C-alpha cells in the first residue's frame, strides 16, 4: 500500500471549509473513490496550531493513484485550483510504502 502525504497551513477564515473538503468524506476523497485502488484519506489537524493540517491518502499501489489522476487530470487540476486560495502553504511531503497495515 502507498501513502501520499501533504502538509498545509490554511487561512483562518477557511479552516472549517478546508477540513470538510479534505476530510474522509470531502471533495478529494470523493474524487479518489473512483479508483478501485483507493483505500482511505486521513486528515490530521495540529493540536497546537489549528491552521496546520496533514492529509494522508492511501492507495493499494502507485499505479492506482496514477491511473486515476492521469485519466482525470483536468478535474484534478480544477479541484486543486479551487482550494489554492484557502491555503497559505502547501507541501508534498512524499509517497511512502505502508507495511503491515490492513486496508
Q: Is the pLDDT of residue 102 over 60?
A: no
* Domain assignment of residue 18, given as a range: 2-97
As a whole-number percent, the residues of the chain with pLDDT over 90 amount to 93
Q: Is residue 76 part of a domain?
A: yes
| DSSP single-letter state for residue 100 | S
Q: Is residue 35 part of a domain?
A: yes
For residues 55-74, average pLDDT? 94
Q: How far apart are CA 13 and CA 100, in angstroms?
A: 39
pTM summary value = 0.89
Q: Is residue 102 part of a domain?
A: no
Q: Is the pLDDT of residue 46 over 70?
A: yes
Quick one: angle between helices 73-84 and 62-71, nearest 10? 90
Q: Is residue 14 part of a domain?
A: yes
Q: How far apart are CA 55 and CA 45, in angstroms?
A: 9
| Amino acid 99: pLDDT | 81
Cα–Cα distances in angstroms (integers) from residue 97 to residues 43, 46, 58, 75, in the given order: 18, 23, 10, 26
Q: Domain tally for the chain? A: 1
- Residue 75 maps to which CATH number? 3.30.70.100
Q: Which is it for the CA torsion 44, 5, 10, 42, positive or negative?
A: negative
Strand 2-10, strand 52-59: pairing: antiparallel
Amino acid at each position: 500500500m502507498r501513502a501520499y502525504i501533504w502538509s498545509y497551513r490554511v487561512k483562518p477564515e477557511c479552516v472549517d471549509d478546508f477540513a470538510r473538503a479534505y476530510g474522509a468524506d470531502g471533495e478529494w476523497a470523493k474524487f479518489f473513490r473512483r479508483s478501485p485502488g483507493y483505500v482511505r484519506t486521513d486528515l490530521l489537524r495540529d493540536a497546537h496550531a489549528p491552521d496546520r493540517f496533514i492529509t494522508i491518502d492511501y492507495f493499494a499501489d502507485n499505479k492506482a493513484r496514477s491511473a486515476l489522476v492521469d485519466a482525470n487530470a483536468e478535474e484534478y487540476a480544477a479541484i486543486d485550483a479551487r482550494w489554492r486560495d484557502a491555503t497559505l502553504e502547501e507541501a508534498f511531503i512524499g509517497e511512502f510504502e505502508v507495511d503491515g497495515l490492513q486496508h
